Structure 1
Amino acid sequence: MKQIHVWSDYVCPFCLIADELIERVIADRDDVEVVHHAYELRPHPTPTLRPEDPYLPDIWTRAVYPMARRHRVPMTLPSISPQPYTAMAFRGAQYAAAHGAAHAYHRRVMTAFFQENRDIGDRDTLAGIATDVGLDRVGYLNALDDDAYANRHQVALAESAAMEITVVPTIVIGRRRIEGVATEGVIARALDGDAAEGAA
């Protein structure tokens, strides 16, 4: 089984675009697993961004919307202000991983924020997202307060730091490391190259 490792944050619009492109590449391949890794762009107490301030509308107009249109990924600048911290959602991701729903949960959190304008820093919203992918609501909510899952998230952040991740998305396929959004062709060639190296 080949693996695509992706470092991302749930409030990074480029990460959703990267996810969509990866999904298209692997749609007809049952020999590829996507492994998601946590990276917090603005960990607490660093202030998060506000959509009514100039930066977000500007970067979305100049970069996000053009790239999203080019790759046919529907998305809208969320109106939640300030933008949510993502540590709680990442703790929930650890619970999802423990119950075999890591990939589905990751995808659902991303689409809830960027395509449905839902507040992924809100416990009830996250619990609804968890149930969307088949997780137990009560178990999920309990996990958000469980130090064990918080500790797993901290370990994941430490692993990201050890990998010197500073840009999201960062995609690693075999020996190939790609910082930023990779096109479908680049992802496919990296997978094919990784398979060729494995067969050598």
Structure 2
Amino acid sequence: MDSWSLGFDEKDVESYAGLGAERPWTPAPASRGQRSRQELPAGGHALRVRIIADYICPWCYIGQERVERLARELPIALEPWPYELMPQLPPGGLPRELVLGRRYPRQYYERLREQARQEGIPMEVPERLYNTHLAHEAALFAEAEGKGWELHRALYRAYWAEARDIGDRDVLCRLAEECGLDAHSLDRALAEGRYREEVDRRQAWARGQGIAGVPTFIFGDGLFALVGAQEYGVFQDVARRLLARLARE
């Protein structure tokens, strides 16, 4: 069970992890004109999973792969949700060691790489940490264009496999183009701050729910919450139990 809860201005970097219990979540309404690429399957009983995460969190990257695998097995729809771990990071980011110091030993990163290998995803720990607000804005733009999941996945790969600056507009536009989106339209949307307030609103909702660590996975409209990149079997068990519960209702 692994997650991050970080603040750039904090003296200590806290590693927060825990198994969620049933609690009363209040789902935030979807914004007009925006939709997730992963729609709920037609007919039968389906379960939505809201993934509250940040692109610079390694456990979010790993956890996303696990719930993607779950979505191929069970009738669930994945809904990415923005959460900035380090909103104070400046443009261009800062060296990882300057921000985190030596709090994470070599064995910690070896474990990360091993977990990534088990999921079949590349991982090289980048030397810099970047501000991700623009990346989350770009993800909402892609969501509105029906390419949300493609860009969401590309952002993780760009950072964790290629160490690209996902806080840079030019990088984001190139990634968008690679995903079949119009780069000029995204550049204009980012320049105008078209999705800035929506990113802030979604983050405020998450923090208002007491979410302090990512990734956090909210199943259904608040039926259950898991914190951390749980083992695949945990996701599988929770989803199956909740789907069975929905089928009985």
TM-score, normalised via structure 1 length: 0.88
- Aligned pair partner of 1:17 in 41, 58, 62: 62
Supply the distance in 2 between the matched residues of 1:182 and 1:168 (Cα, whole angstroms): 12
Q: SS in structure 2 opposite 1:35? A: strand
Question: Identity over the aligned pairs, expressed in percent?
Answer: 28
The answer for the alignment partner of 1:173 in structure 2 is: 219
Supply the distance in 2 between the matched residues of 1:138 and 1:173 (Cα, whole angstroms): 36
Deviations 1:35-81 (A, max 9, x none): 0111111113689652344836652623243143145243111133x
The answer for the alignment partner of 1:124 in structure 2 is: 170
Supply the distance in 2 between the matched residues of 1:130 and 1:8 (Cα, whole angstroms): 20
Supply the distance in 2 between the matched residues of 1:2 and 1:164 (Cα, whole angstroms): 22
Supply the distance in 2 between the matched residues of 1:114 and 1:168 (Cα, whole angstroms): 16
Shifted more, 41-50 versus 120-129: the winner is: 41-50
Matches within 5 A, 1:81-160: 83-160=129-206
- Aligned pair partner of 1:33 in 77, 86, 98: 77
Sort the Cα spacing of 1:143 and 1:61 in 2 relative to 1 into closer, same or farther, 3 A. same
The answer for the alignment partner of 2:239 in structure 1 is: 191
**In structure 2, what residue type is equivalent to 1:7?**
I
Sort the Cα spacing of 1:49 and 1:194 in 2 relative to 1 into closer, same or farther, 3 A. farther
Query: Are the aligned partners of 2:62 and 2:115 in contact in 1 as well (CA < 8 Å)?
Result: no
Sort the Cα spacing of 1:65 and 1:57 in 2 relative to 1 into closer, same or farther, 3 A. farther
Q: Could you list the structure 1 runs, at least 4 aligned residues long, displaced by more than 3 angstroms after superposition.
A: 45-49, 52-58
Q: SS in structure 1 opposite 2:52? A: strand
Query: Are the aligned partners of 1:7 and 1:38 in contact in 2 as well (CA < 8 Å)?
Result: yes
* RMSD, aligned α-carbons: 2.2
Query: Are the aligned partners of 1:49 and 1:56 in contact in 2 as well (CA < 8 Å)?
Result: no
Deviations 1:8-43 (A, max 9, x none): 1111111101011112222244x2211011111111
Report how far residue 94 of structure 1 moved: 1.4
Supply the distance in 2 between the matched residues of 1:103 and 1:95 (Cα, whole angstroms): 11
Supply the distance in 2 between the matched residues of 1:77 and 1:60 (Cα, whole angstroms): 13
* Bigger helix share: 1
Q: SS in structure 1 opposite 2:218? A: strand
* Structure 2 residues not aligned, in runs of 5+: 1-45
The answer for the alignment partner of 2:108 in structure 1 is: 63
* Structure 1 residues not aligned, in runs of 5+: none
